[in-house]
């Protein structure tokens, strides 16, 4: 069975979306049981580069990403580390 989820990659992480894709959001059908870590690995987003990861606006800590299963309608968003002065 598949579920529909959205993946949003911000700033430099948007470079990991498929070539030719416009914008930073993808709507995807994935297998039920897919985790946050599975999705980031699927798009080859380096673990250290996905600094802030949210599912439906709620923070998912690095240690929880392999266990946090996505559900139908979820939105997974990731940001790289932010530098500034």
pLDDT of residue 19: 85
- Mean pLDDT taken over the chain: 95
Q: How confident is the model at residue 85 (pLDDT cuts 50, 70, 90)?
A: low
CATH ID of 2-79, from 3.40.30.10, 3.50.50.60, 3.40.50.620, 3.10.20.30? 3.10.20.30
pTM of the full predicted structure?
A: 0.92
Share of the chain above pLDDT 90, in %: 88
- Write the pLDDT tens digit of every residue in 49-59: 999 999 999 99
Task: Compare 77 and 85 and report the one with higher pLDDT.
Answer: 77
For residues 8 and 75, the answer to whether their CB atoms sit within 8 Å is yes
Strand order in the sheet with 52-55: 25-31, 2-9, 75-79, 52-55, 58-59
């Amino acid at each position: 069975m598949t579920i529909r989820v959205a993946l949003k990659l911000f700033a430099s992480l948007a470079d990991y979306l498929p070539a030719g894709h416009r914008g930073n959001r993808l709507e995807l059908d994935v297998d039920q049981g897919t985790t946050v870590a599975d999705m980031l690995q699927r798009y080859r987003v380096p673990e250290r580069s996905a600094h802030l990861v949210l599912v439906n606006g709620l923070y998912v800590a690095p240690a929880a990403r392999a266990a946090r299963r996505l559900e139908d309608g979820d939105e997974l968003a990731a940001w790289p580390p932010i530098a500034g002065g």
